[in-house]
Each structure stands twice: as structure tokens, then as C-alpha cells.
Amino acid sequence: MMKSKIHRARVTQVDLDYEGSITIDRALMEASDILPFERVEVLNINNGARFSTYAIEGMANSGIIGINGAAARLVAKGDIVLILSYCQVPDDEAINITPYIVRVDSQNRITESSSATHINEWRSGAISGGEKENISNTEYEILSNIKVQNPG
């Protein structure tokens, strides 16, 4: 299950000669519940590259998002990335996972930090069976807690 997401962060440095990892501003790590040395997935919006690495803590409130080591070949300074972390839980506990989502501005300052409210709304009954949700211009119908693509 997705545990955390830093949404649309801007890469501030690349260092091919560093051992590896991604350096993330400590304030962003804390807000998104990403721990030092935790495995993260990085998705580059600019070129479509996706890679796994581990997080290391950068100076708090510095805005640093640094891609280090071999992964530095997959990004350029200024690229926009999503940083995701996941956790494994038994199926019966999966519904209780509420990811932390941290949105940032062009300097990687937090503009919004919250749990995934749509999941909380769904759990509370604010979204009931038969209601429709639009995701990426594709209409889905929510039935029995399962999203199924609406053919028409």
C-alpha cells in the first residue's frame, strides 16, 4: 500500500559521484512520514523514468531534493518528481492505511500536507455505492468498495 507521497517536488541537485540515494529536505521527510534509509520510488514527470532508492535526510527547510549516484543519470536539475513510499500490511488492514500526501511549490516548500482525504470520505460513507468518480478523464463507478471501469 502507498504510505507516503511527496507530490511534484523539483530536483535541486544531481550528484553522479555520490554513493547513491535521494537527499530529501528533513521537513518534507517528516511531513510525509519517510524515514532515513527507507526505500522510496522516484517517478520523473519530465522523462517518465522510474527508479527505487533510499532516502537520506537533507537540511530541514532547505528545499533540497538531490538525486545521487547512478540514478543521477535519470534526472536533470529542475525536473519534477513524485517520491513515493510503500508499506506491506495484511489484506484486512489495508483499508485502514491512510497515505500522507505532501504537496510542494516550485522551491519544495510545503503548500499542503494531509492524509488522503478521499479515502477518509469513502470510509465515512460520504462516497456511497453507485457514485461516480472521474480519474484522468476516465469514468469509474464505485460499487461494493471496488472500482470498476464503466464501459459506457
Three state DSSP letters for 39-67: EEEEEECCCCCEEEEEEEEECCCCCCEEE
Q: Output the CA angle 128-145-101, nearest 5 degrees.
A: 90
pLDDT at 79 (0 to 100): 98
Against a cut of 0.85, is the pTM above it?
A: no
Domain residue ranges of the chain, discontinuous segments joined by +:
2-115, 117-149
SS3 label, residue 116:
coil
Is pLDDT above 50 for 52? yes
pLDDT at 139 (0 to 100): 38
Active-site residue set: 21, 54
As a whole number, mean pLDDT of residues 26-38 equals: 97
Is pLDDT above 80 for 73? yes
Residue bearing cell 540515494: 21
pLDDT at 116 (0 to 100): 56
pLDDT at 121 (0 to 100): 56
Higher pLDDT pick, 150 / 94? 94
Mean pLDDT score of the chain, rounded to an integer?
A: 83
pLDDT tens digits, 89-127: 998 888 888 899 999 999 999 999 886 554 555 555 554
CATH code of the domain occupying 2-115:
2.40.40.20
Q: How confident is the model at residue 32 (pLDDT cuts 50, 70, 90)?
A: very high
What is the rounded distance in angstroms from the CA atom of residue 56 to the CA atom of residue 51?
16
